[in-house]
Structure 1
Amino acid sequence: MQNPVHIVWFKRDLRIYDHAPLQAACLAGSVMPLYCWEPNQWAGEDYVAQHQAFIAECLVELKKELASIGLHLQISPVGIVETLQTIKSQIAIAGLYSHEETGNGASFAVDKAVSAWCKVQQINWQESAQNGVVRRLKNRNHWNKHWESRMCAPIIAKPQSALAAPFINLPSRTILQAKGSDKPKRQRGGRSEALRFFDSFLDGRAAKFRGGISSPLTAVTAGSRLSPYLAYGCLSMREVVQATRERRDWANQVPHLFPKNLNGGLIGFESRLHWHCHFMQKLESEPEMEFENLHHAHDGMRDETLAHAESQRRLAAWSKGETGWPLIDACMAMLRETGWINFRMRAMLMSTASYLYWLHWRETGLHLAREFLDYEPGIHWAQTQMQSGTTGINTLRIYSPIKQAQNQDPTGAFVRHWLPALKNVPDTWIFEPYLMPKNLQKQYGCELEKHYPAPLIDIAIAMREARAKISQARKQAGAFDETQAIIKKHASRKGMLGSARDANGQELVAKKRQKKSTLTKLKHSQQELF
C-alpha cells in the first residue's frame, strides 16, 4: 500500500529556496510538487502570451532545482481542483501545501474552489505567508510591525533531500494558450536570471538608483529590474530585503570597495520593497478594487462601458501609442517590445488615460496589465486607481506629457529611439511636433497625420476639466465619511519610509520654508511616486 502524498502546489512562488510549504511537506512525508496551468486564468483579460512564456521558462529551472533534491515536478494542463481529484483517484492525499496568494479575481475564485474541495474531502490545506501581506487585517495601525517581523524571520534553507511521491498520471490535454504573442525583448524567466540581475544591482547598479529611476533613459540600468522575479516568486521578498540590508552593512564597513552612493540607493530600494507589499495589502483587504472604484463618490464619473465613440477613439489612440504626444507614444512602443517601462512613466501613462483622455481606469488598466511582464495584481490595480484619482485619499497628480518629456528625456534620445518617424525632428519641436510649421514638417520628414498623428485634445483644457470633475465628485454627501473609512483600512501609517501620514493615516501638512534634510527629500520623492 502506497503512503499518502503531501502535495506542494506551486503558484507564483517558483523557487525551492525560502519556501515554507516545500519545507513543511518534506518534513511530513512523501512529496509531490505540482504546477497547474489554470485555464480560467489564461482565458481572462489580463494575462497573455508573454506571461505564459516567462512562467514556462521559470518552470524549466524549477524542475531542475527540484530534481536536485530528488523530486519530480508534475505539470498539469488543467485546473487545480480537477487535478487534485485525478490524483486522489490514484493515491491518498495527506495534505496540500501552498503559499498565500494575492492575485486577481480569477485566482481568488480558484482559491475559494480549492478551499471548498479540501473541506469536502477532509484534506488539510496549509497556506504560508510569503511576503508582507497579512490575511484578515482589520486596519493598518500595526501593519508596519507585521512586515518587519516577517522580513527579519530566518530564511528557510533549500531542502537537502526529500522523499518523492509516486508518479501520477495527470490529464493529457493541451495547455490553453494565452492570447497575444510573446515580446521579443522581454526579460527571461528563472531564478538564475533573477540572481544575475540582483547581484549586479547589489554590486554597483544600485548606486544610481536615486535620481536614476525616474527617466526611461537611465531606469533600465539604475532600477533593480527584479519586479517580474518577485511577481512570480523566483526570489522571496524576505531574501531580497535581507540581502539588501547585508550589502548596506558591508558597504558601510568597507566603503572603498563599492561605488559612491550605493548605500543611499539601497535605502531607497528597500523603501520600495516595503511599498510593494503595502499596495498588495490593499487588494488583499479589498478584492473589489480590481473591478470597482475604491471611493464610490467617483462612480459614474467616467464612461465605464466605453459606450461613446469618442471614448473608443481615445482608448485606441492611447493603447496603440498614437496620441501625438511623443513621450507617451515612445513609452507604449517600448512596452510593446520589452514588456517593461519605469514607474514614473507607468504613472504618466495611466494619468494621461484617466485625466487627459478621461477614460475609465478598468479598460486602460487591463491593457497595461497585458503589457507589463511584471504584472502584479495587488500593486497594479491599487496604482491604477491611485493614478486615476478614484481612491479618494491621495493628492491628484496629473502628469503633463510635455513637461515629463522635457524633464526625463531632455535631449529627446528616448523618443527618437522608439519613434523613428521623429528621428530627424530638431530639439525645438521634438516633444511638440504638431507645432512645427508645415514647411518644416516636410523638411524633417514628419508630416502630421501622414508620418505621425496630431493630438486629439488640448492638455491644459483637459487638466482643468479633470480637476473640476473630481473636485465636484468629492463634495458629494457622504464622501468625507467614506474617505475616513478608506484611510483607516488602506492608508499608510507613520513609520513607513516615505509616508506623509500620521499614526492614524491622516495626511501631514508640511511647514512652509522648512529646510529639507536628506530624509525629508527622500520622503518628498516617495510621496511623488506613491
Structure 2
Amino acid sequence: MSYGLVWFKRDFRLADHGALAAAARQRPVLCVAIVEPSLWGQPDAARQHYAFMLESARELHAALRRLGGRLHLMVGEAVAVLDRLRAAAPFAALYSHEETGNGASYARDRAVAAWCRARGVRWHEVPQFGVVRRLADRDRWQAAWEAQVGAPQAVLPAGLSFAALPAALQPNDAAAGPMDSVAEGAIVAGRAPEAVALGLDPFEPPRRQQGGRRAALDALASFLDARSGQYRGGISSPLKAPTACSRLSPYLACGCLSLRELVQATRERIAALPQGDRRRAGLSAFVSRLYWHCHFIQKLESEPALEFRNLHRGYDGLREAEWNPAHFAALVAGRSGWPLVDACVAMLRETGWINFRMRAMLVSVAAYPLWLHWREVGLWLARAFLDYEPGIHWSQMQMHSGTTGINTTRVYNPIKQARDHDPQGVFVRRWLPALRRLPDEWLFEPWRMPESLQARYGVRVGEDIAQPLVDLETATRLAKARVHALRARPEVRAAKAAIVERHGSRKRPESRRGRARADAGPAAVQLDLGF
C-alpha cells in the first residue's frame, strides 16, 4: 500500500500541522520522529531540550492513538532511517515542515534532500514560520509574513488513515506501544535512548517548564485571559516577568503551538476586548514580538554562517585571540561578582528561563567588561535556555556583542540595571542567599563594604560572595572604545550597506518618539524568545 511518510521534527502537534494535513489528503500516513545522535551530540544541545522534546512527543503519540495512529520513534541518523524504512516498505513521498535550525540540522536537511533526489522521492516541505526560503528581496518580507500568519490553519481531513510500521522495524515487544517499548539496535522503533547515552550533560533545571501541547494551551489561555495585562511594563522586570511574559517561547520553539494559531488567537482576543483594557496593549506588543521572532530567524535562513562567524566580517579578530577562560568559568558559575548577573545565572540554572532584558545584560557583560567572544558564551546560553531558537539566538548574540555592523552598541551596566529593575533587591536576595543579610546600601556593590561590616553581617567578599572580575567602569570604557574604533574604519563602514540590504528590517513602526530607525525592533525583542 502506498503511503506518505510524515517526519515530525520541531512540530509536535496535530493542530495547524501543514505537513500532516497535506500528506493525509493524498494517502495513508506513517508518522515518525527521529532521535538523531549526531544532532543531540552538538555543543548547543542540552538534556532539558531532549526531555522537553520527549514530553511533547509522548503527548503527540497519545493524540495520534486516539485517532487510530501512532508516532513511531526511530533512533539513528535521518538518512539511514529513511533508507531502512524505504527498503522495508517504500513510501510515496516524504512530508515535513521547513526548519531553520543549527548548522548540524542544516547539513542533515541537505543530506536528506540529496537522498530524496537520488531515489526519486518527492520531499514536501511546508512553511510553519514567516520565513521565506531563498529570499531574494527583504522589501517584500513583511507582506510574506502577514500572508503566512493570516492564512487559514491547516485542518486534518476526516477519516485520517494510517499505514502500519513495516514488520521488520517493529519493536521486539510487540505488545507494547512504540513510545513505551524498549529499543534495541541502531535504527528501530521504540523507547528513546537515555540522555546520557546521547552524551548529554546529566544536569537539568529542576523547575523548568514541562513540554507538551496541553501545557502550551494552558499557558496561552492564562496569558490571553489575564497575564497579558502585565505584559507592557512587566516584561523588563526580573521580578514581574515570570508571570508578565507569555512563557510560550519553548512551546513555539518545539512546535507544540504553531506561529499562525498563536498570532490568530492573539488578534482575535484583541478584537474581542473593550477599548481601554490593559490586555489590548499587551497583546498588541506580543504580536509585534512574534513578527520580530521570524525577522531574526530569517537572518539565519538567509545566512547560515552567522552561527559560527561574525555577520560583519570586518569585526573578525576583535575578541578571538583574547579569550579568558577564567572569566568565562566564573560567569558560568555565577561568580562574576555583580549580584544581578550572578542572580540571573542562578535563576537560569534552576528554571531554564530568564526574561529578555536579563538575557541581554548577560551577553553584554560577557562581551564588554569581560571581553569574551560571543560563540562560546552563546553555546553556554543555548544549553541554558529551554526556549533556544538558533535563528534568534545567534543573531542576538552578535547584536549584543557589537559584531553585526548595523545595530547600535548596546551595553548594559549590571549595577544600574539592578537599581532600575530590582530597587529593593528582592530578586537578588531570592537567588543569592548569601546576600540576604546585607542592607540595601551595600546589596548591589558588596565589594565596597568595609571589612568590619562584612564581619557584622557574616559575609566575606571573595568567599561567600565573589569579588568582581574586573573594574566595571574601566573595562567597559576600554571595550566600547575598541569596538567604536573598529566601527569607524572606512572599510568597515563601507561594508555596512550590504548587510542592511540583506538583513535589515524594512518595517518602520511608529512610536511616541517618532518614526523608528531601520531594524529598531530588536531593541524590544527578547533574546531567544524569552517572551
One-letter amino acid of the counterpart of residue 335, structure 2: E
Q: Partner of 2:273: helix, strand, or coil?
A: helix
- In 1, the alpha carbon distance for the partners of 2:161 and 2:512 equals 47
- In 1, the alpha carbon distance for the partners of 2:526 and 2:16 equals 33
- Residue matched to 2:180: none
Deviation of 1:303 after TM superposition, in Å, equals 2.8
- Residue matched to 1:280: 297
Deviation of 1:476 after TM superposition, in Å, equals 2.9
Provide Cα deviations, 1:305-325, integer angstroms capped at 9, x if missing partner: 83xxxx011001111110000
- Residue matched to 2:204: 182
Question: For the Cα contact (< 8 Å) 2:289–2:525, is it kept in 1?
Answer: no
Q: Which residue of the other structure, out of 272, 279, 295, is the alignment partner of 1:250?
A: 272
Give the direction of change, closer, same or farther, for the CA distance of 1:198–1:507 in structure 2 (3 Å limit): closer
One-letter amino acid of the counterpart of residue 214, structure 2: S
- Residue matched to 1:270: 287
- In 2, the alpha carbon distance for the partners of 1:497 and 1:111 equals 39
Q: Partner of 1:234: helix, strand, or coil?
A: coil
Does residue 113 of structure 1 match 2:111? yes
Does residue 468 of structure 1 match 2:481? yes
- Residue matched to 1:345: 358
Q: Which residue of the other structure, out of 55, 62, 76, is the alignment partner of 1:78?
A: 76
Question: For the Cα contact (< 8 Å) 1:190–1:229, is it kept in 2?
Answer: yes
- In 2, the alpha carbon distance for the partners of 1:372 and 1:524 equals 19
Q: Partner of 1:379: helix, strand, or coil?
A: helix
Does residue 224 of structure 1 match 2:241? no
- Residue matched to 1:519: none
Give the direction of change, closer, same or farther, for the CA distance of 1:103–1:305 in structure 2 (3 Å limit): farther
Give the direction of change, closer, same or farther, for the CA distance of 1:52–1:438 in structure 2 (3 Å limit): same
- Residue matched to 1:422: 435
One-letter amino acid of the counterpart of residue 118, structure 1: C
Question: For the Cα contact (< 8 Å) 1:52–1:178, is it kept in 2?
Answer: no
Q: Partner of 1:32: helix, strand, or coil?
A: strand
- In 1, the alpha carbon distance for the partners of 2:90 and 2:490 equals 58
RMSD across aligned positions (CA): 2.1
Give the direction of change, closer, same or farther, for the CA distance of 1:13–1:339 in structure 2 (3 Å limit): same
Deviation of 1:526 after TM superposition, in Å, equals 3.2
Deviation of 1:467 after TM superposition, in Å, equals 1.4
Q: Partner of 1:15: helix, strand, or coil?
A: coil
- Residue matched to 2:223: 201
Question: For the Cα contact (< 8 Å) 1:498–1:527, is it kept in 2?
Answer: no
Give the direction of change, closer, same or farther, for the CA distance of 1:58–1:178 in structure 2 (3 Å limit): farther
One-letter amino acid of the counterpart of residue 398, structure 2: Q
- Residue matched to 2:173: none
Give the direction of change, closer, same or farther, for the CA distance of 1:529–1:97 in structure 2 (3 Å limit): closer
Q: Which residue of the other structure, out of 303, 310, 313, is the alignment partner of 1:296?
A: 313
- In 2, the alpha carbon distance for the partners of 1:18 and 1:321 equals 41
- In 2, the alpha carbon distance for the partners of 1:63 and 1:305 equals 49
- Residue matched to 1:377: 390
Normalized against structure 1, the TM-score is what? 0.91
Question: For the Cα contact (< 8 Å) 2:56–2:211, is it kept in 1?
Answer: yes
- In 2, the alpha carbon distance for the partners of 1:72 and 1:15 equals 13
Normalized against structure 2, the TM-score is what? 0.91
One-letter amino acid of the counterpart of residue 224, structure 1: S
- Residue matched to 1:490: 503
Does residue 405 of structure 1 match 2:418? yes
Provide Cα deviations, 1:375-405, integer angstroms capped at 9, x if missing partner: 0000000000000000010001100000000
Deviation of 1:529 after TM superposition, in Å, equals 8.4
Give the direction of change, closer, same or farther, for the CA distance of 1:160–1:262 in structure 2 (3 Å limit): same
- Residue matched to 1:456: 469
- Residue matched to 1:520: none
Paired residues in the alignment total: 504
Provide Cα deviations, 1:418-442, integer angstroms capped at 9, x if missing partner: 1011010110011110011111111
* 1:144-159 equivalent positions in 2, closer than 5 A: 144-159=142-157
Question: For the Cα contact (< 8 Å) 1:500–1:527, is it kept in 2?
Answer: no
* 1:83-102 equivalent positions in 2, closer than 5 A: 83-102=81-100
One-letter amino acid of the counterpart of residue 185, structure 1: R
Q: Which residue of the other structure, out of 299, 316, 329, is the alignment partner of 2:342?
A: 329
Q: Partner of 1:34: helix, strand, or coil?
A: strand
One-letter amino acid of the counterpart of residue 209, structure 1: Y
Q: Which residue of the other structure, out of 62, 65, 72, is the alignment partner of 1:64?
A: 62
- Residue matched to 2:34: 36
Deviation of 1:159 after TM superposition, in Å, equals 4.2
- In 2, the alpha carbon distance for the partners of 1:500 and 1:20 equals 41
- Residue matched to 1:238: 260
One-letter amino acid of the counterpart of residue 441, structure 1: Q
- In 2, the alpha carbon distance for the partners of 1:231 and 1:507 equals 23
- In 2, the alpha carbon distance for the partners of 1:524 and 1:370 equals 22
Give the direction of change, closer, same or farther, for the CA distance of 1:158–1:220 in structure 2 (3 Å limit): farther
The worse-fitting range, judged by mean Cα deviation, of 490-499 and 92-101 is 490-499
- In 1, the alpha carbon distance for the partners of 2:458 and 2:72 equals 56
- Residue matched to 1:514: none
Give the direction of change, closer, same or farther, for the CA distance of 1:455–1:39 in structure 2 (3 Å limit): same
One-letter amino acid of the counterpart of residue 457, structure 1: V
Does residue 446 of structure 1 match 2:459? yes
Question: For the Cα contact (< 8 Å) 1:498–1:526, is it kept in 2?
Answer: no
Identity %: 49
Provide Cα deviations, 1:273-295, integer angstroms capped at 9, x if missing partner: 00110111110011000000001
Q: Partner of 2:441: helix, strand, or coil?
A: coil
One-letter amino acid of the counterpart of residue 359, structure 2: R
Question: For the Cα contact (< 8 Å) 2:355–2:526, is it kept in 1?
Answer: no
Q: Partner of 2:443: helix, strand, or coil?
A: coil
- Residue matched to 2:376: 363
Question: For the Cα contact (< 8 Å) 1:331–1:341, is it kept in 2?
Answer: yes
Give the direction of change, closer, same or farther, for the CA distance of 1:373–1:529 in structure 2 (3 Å limit): closer
Question: For the Cα contact (< 8 Å) 1:198–1:226, is it kept in 2?
Answer: yes
- In 2, the alpha carbon distance for the partners of 1:27 and 1:79 equals 28
- Residue matched to 1:161: 159
Question: For the Cα contact (< 8 Å) 2:392–2:527, is it kept in 1?
Answer: no
**Unpaired stretches in structure 2, ≥5 consecutive residues:** 170-183, 187-191
Provide Cα deviations, 1:1-34, integer angstroms capped at 9, x if missing partner: xx12210000001101101110111111120001
One-letter amino acid of the counterpart of residue 188, structure 1: Q
Deviation of 1:83 after TM superposition, in Å, equals 0.8
- In 1, the alpha carbon distance for the partners of 2:278 and 2:523 equals 16
Give the direction of change, closer, same or farther, for the CA distance of 1:496–1:147 in structure 2 (3 Å limit): farther
Question: For the Cα contact (< 8 Å) 2:357–2:526, is it kept in 1?
Answer: no
Deviation of 1:496 after TM superposition, in Å, equals 4.9
Deviation of 1:494 after TM superposition, in Å, equals 3.0
Question: For the Cα contact (< 8 Å) 1:326–1:431, is it kept in 2?
Answer: yes
Deviation of 1:330 after TM superposition, in Å, equals 0.3
- In 1, the alpha carbon distance for the partners of 2:514 and 2:111 equals 39
